[in-house]
Structure 1
Amino acid sequence: MKIYNDLLQVKTNKDEEMIDITEKVSEFVKESKIQNGMVHLFVAHTTAAITINENTDPNVKKDVLLSLRHAFPIEKEFLHFEGNSHAHIKSSVIGNTQSLIVEDNQLKLGRWQAIYFCEFDGPRQRQVYIQIMGE
């Protein structure tokens, strides 16, 4: 079994946004030369997350962020001294890992799927750890 590790730098530009990182992750898969296996993505931040969702209609990203904003609004009643509890909660709900299948040296995604880095407390410089395992 081969293991390939890398680090994806993500520069966010807004307080909240979803950035499509599918192409960059696909490039890492190709560079790994692993034909069949798994790719694991890990976001080591407590106010960011990673998800897989539709890549065709940009309104889906807007709707996801709007829904999260309604569910977890910025409120002064939170106790966390930094004032970004809403971002921590959104990160916990969406999650900080994703695993995908690698088949024939390509990501196995559905026709309308993309991998999104989710920023909830930006703008910031972020990182996504990538590990690809297989043969």
Structure 2
Amino acid sequence: MIHTLHIETKQRDEIIDITPKVSDLLRQEPLEDGLAIVYCPHTTAGIAVNENADPDVKKDILMRLNEVYPWEHPKYEHAEGNSAAHLKAITVGSSQTLLVAGGRLVLGRWQGIYFCEFDGPRRRQCLVRFIKG
């Protein structure tokens, strides 16, 4: 079964911790051991696993991505004007595969799963699939 998370973003660039939502979905599954695939079906957003203890890490990530991929650039040619969002999304990636053991997500002590918005605010979806292993 593929689960759908509905996410409302509020800013152009935003990193949202979806770890609790993915964990809630896992509790609904009869899965002790296997995989969790978290996928973003959008070309201007992505999925990342990174530190979730210090909120400044999210700010630093967005700051650096904005430095590398500024919103305005004289050589961008994409007609929609959101080339920076596409570049950020391809850098972050569209999915993450995580281990499940003992009915829980296997994450490092400081890790969390993030939905990364780069062209908001928008209504987004995130798809989650659990596979018995």
- Normalising by structure 1, what TM-score? 0.95
Is 1:35 paired with 2:32?
yes
Q: Which residue of 2 aligns with 1:125?
A: 123
**Within 2, Cα distance between the matches of 1:123 and 1:66?**
18
CA positional deviation for 1:76: 4.2
Which 4+ stretches in 1 moved above 4 angstroms?
none
Q: Which amino acid aligns with 2:109?
A: R
Verify the 8 A CA contact 1:51 1:116 in the aligned structure 2: yes
Q: Pairwise mapping of residues 69-88 of structure 1 onto structure 2 (< 5 A)?
A: 69-77=66-74, 78-88=76-86
> Which of 1, 7, 11 pairs up with 1:10?
7
Q: Which residue of 2 aligns with 1:50?
A: 47
SS of 1:24's equivalent in the other structure is: helix
Tell me the percent identity. 45
**Within 1, Cα distance between the matches of 2:73 and 2:106?**
42
User: What count of residue pairs does the alignment treat as equivalent?
Assistant: 132
Is 1:21 paired with 2:40?
no
- Deviation string 1:64-86 (CA, Å, 9 cap, x unpaired) is 00000000001242100111000
SS of 1:46's equivalent in the other structure is: coil
Verify the 8 A CA contact 1:76 1:83 in the aligned structure 2: no
Q: Which amino acid aligns with 2:121?
A: P
Q: Which amino acid aligns with 2:2?
A: N
Q: Which residue of 2 aligns with 1:105?
A: 103
SS of 1:32's equivalent in the other structure is: coil
Structure 2 unaligned spans of 5+? none
SS of 2:86's equivalent in the other structure is: helix
**Within 1, Cα distance between the matches of 2:15 and 2:8?**
11
